[in-house]
């Protein structure tokens, strides 16, 4: 069938639980979401695009017919829509393709979710806020500073327009088990930490961030899906975030400390670099709605969670044994 192909993942799933379709399953968050639902008895189908085969379905979400066929064929109970262009600087350079994925594909997924009666969970971002007046509650007025934030906000609006029962989950900068350290702005700091023998390495010490583990986000998604299927009041926008406030400089210093590596080459920079897309200075999310509904999780401590993600990239794979045992 043109547009998407089934692959081996379905054959692996023997459990007869409710069905979830995860878009962006080849990505940083989507992988964690697939694993979390699978471990909890759901029948999981993931879709990807360039990296889809052999594990996932390949479906170009910008192809409306392919999305329609996919959902009609699979008839999920829940869709977790993770696929997006999430790199603000790439977004500014390739605006048309990125808007096509972040806005138009989201619109198509929402329309088809409504047709097939699936609960839609849309992953959004703290970049919908301008960062001037944190912390931000779900009802606070968005004012994105860059094209990425605008496209994700437009995506939110498309989901609400076509699928009023949507659950929108806004999260801040993510890190998790990575195929390459460059998959996340957080794990990519590993390369800076390792430049210890080189010259000094300037790192942003201006923008306040709340790095968040994809495993925690995935658990929140599953809890939301399970509760929202039972309780129609669990709808609308939710915020989830790690609790530790850090600049990139502080994240890199914490990484160096976790691995007993030198950090004196890391230099705090208090001005945003010229030429990159503008970013909010502090878009801290108030997460009390999830917490009051007992749908949150206690975020893992940054130093241990980031060590979990980075140890496969250490030159000496015995590091884990020497540090943890
Ligand atoms: P990611 O690692 O960059 O993954 C993007 C996913 O989108 C991949 O699975 C990719 O598939 C898929 N994709 C790209 N083009 C596609 C197309 N035309 N059709 C179908 N799928 C396509 O992203 P992520 O970091 O997991 O982000 C997940 C969600 O979290 C996004 O909605 C993002 O906005 C949100 N978010 C992320 C962060 C963060 O720091 N990463 C922060 C806040 C919010 P292939 O790779 O197979 O092509």
CB of 24 sitting under 6 A from ligand 1: yes
- Between 273 and 203, where is the model more confident? 203
- Between 278 and 221, where is the model more confident? 221
CA-to-CA dists, residue 81 to 33, 161, 166, 201, 308, angstroms:
10, 16, 11, 37, 26
Distance CA(155)–CA(169), nearest Å, equals 12
pLDDT-derived band of residue 17, with 50, 70 and 90 as boundaries? confident
Q: What is the DSSP letter of 102?
A: I
Return the closest-CA partner of residue 19 out of 156, 113, 160, 123.
113
List pLDDT tens digits, range 256-303: 999 999 999 999 998 877 778 899 999 999 999 999 999 999 999 999
CA 172 to chain centre: 8
Distance CA(200)–CA(213), nearest Å, equals 28
Specify the pLDDT at position 272.
Answer: 75
The residue contributing the CA closest to ligand 1 atom 18 is: 60
C-alpha 83 – ligand 1 centre gap (Å):
4
- Assigned token pair, 20: 């979830």
Specify the pLDDT at position 15.
Answer: 53
Specify the pLDDT at position 8.
Answer: 44
Specify the pLDDT at position 21.
Answer: 98
Specify the pLDDT at position 317.
Answer: 58
Using omega within 30 degrees of 0 as the cis cutoff, is the peptide bond preceding 135 cis?
Answer: yes
Q: Where are the alpha helices (DSSP H) in the chain?
A: 9-12, 28-39, 64-74, 88-93, 95-99, 106-116, 147-162, 189-193, 214-230, 248-258, 288-292, 302-310, 319-324
**pTM assigned to the model:** 0.93
Under 8 Å between Cβ of 172 and 212: yes
Name every residue whose Cβ is closer than 8 Å to that of residue 210 and which is 6 or more positions away in sequence: 126, 172, 173, 241, 242, 243, 244, 245, 246, 284, 285
CB of 30 sitting under 6 A from ligand 1: yes
Mutation to probe ligand 1, out of 9, 23, 26, 27 (largest number of atoms < 8 A from CB):
27
Mutation to probe ligand 1, out of 82, 109, 242, 309 (largest number of atoms < 8 A from CB):
82
C-alpha 48 – ligand 1 centre gap (Å):
9
Mutation to probe ligand 1, out of 83, 122, 150, 207 (largest number of atoms < 8 A from CB):
83
CB of 70 sitting under 6 A from ligand 1: no
Specify the pLDDT at position 199.
Answer: 76
Q: Residue 7 pLDDT more than 60?
A: no
Q: What is the DSSP letter of 272?
A: P
The residue contributing the CA closest to ligand 1 atom 15 is: 49
CB of 48 sitting under 6 A from ligand 1: yes
Mutation to probe ligand 1, out of 24, 174, 184, 185 (largest number of atoms < 8 A from CB):
24
CA dihedral (236, 296, 28, 172) positive or negative: positive
Q: Residue 112 pLDDT more than 90?
A: yes
C-alpha 113 – ligand 1 centre gap (Å):
19
Q: Whole-number mean pLDDT of the chain?
A: 92
The residue contributing the CA closest to ligand 1 atom 1 is: 27
Q: Residue 29 pLDDT more than 70?
A: yes
CB of 280 sitting under 6 A from ligand 1: no
Q: Residue 319 pLDDT more than 70?
A: no
């Amino acid at each position: 069938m043109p547009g998407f192909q089934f692959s081996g993942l379905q054959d692996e799933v023997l459990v007869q639980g409710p069905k979830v379709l995860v878009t962006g399953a080849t990505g940083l968050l989507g992988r964690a979401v697939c694993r979390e639902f699978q471990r909890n008895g759901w029948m999981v189908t993931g879709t990807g695009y360039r990296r889809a085969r052999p594990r996932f379905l390949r479906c170009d979400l910008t192809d409306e017919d392919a999305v329609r066929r996919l959902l009609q064929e699979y008839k999920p109970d829940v869709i977790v829509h993770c696929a997006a262009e999430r790199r603000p600087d790439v977004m500014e350079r390739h605006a048309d393709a990125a808007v096509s994925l972040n806005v138009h594909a989201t619109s198509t997924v929402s329309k088809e979710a409504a047709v097939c009666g699936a609960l839609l969970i849309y992953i959004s971002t703290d970049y919908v806020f301008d960062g001037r007046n944190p912390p931000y509650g779900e009802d606070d007025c968005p004012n994105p500073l860059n094209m990425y934030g605008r496209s994700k906000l437009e995506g939110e609006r498309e989901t609400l327009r076509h699928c009023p029962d949507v659950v929108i989950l806004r999260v801040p900068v993510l890190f998790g088990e990575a195929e390459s350290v460059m998959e996340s702005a957080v794990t990519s700091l590993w390369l800076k930490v390792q430049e210890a023998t080189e010259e000094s390495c300037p790192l942003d010490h201006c923008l306040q961030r709340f790095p968040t583990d994809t495993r925690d986000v995935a658990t929140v998604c599953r809890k939301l899906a399970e509760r929202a299927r039972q309780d129609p009041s669990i709808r609308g926008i939710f915020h989830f975030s790690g609790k530790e406030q850090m600049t990139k400089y502080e994240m890199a210093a914490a990484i160096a400390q976790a691995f007993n590596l030198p950090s004196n080459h890391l230099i705090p920079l208090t001005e945003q670099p010229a030429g990159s897309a503008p970013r909010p200075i502090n878009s801290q999310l108030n997460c009390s709605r999830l917490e009051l509904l007992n749908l949150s999780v206690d975020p893992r401590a940054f130093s241990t969670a980031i060590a979990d993600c980075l140890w496969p990239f250490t030159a000496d794979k015995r590091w884990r044994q020497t540090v943890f045992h």
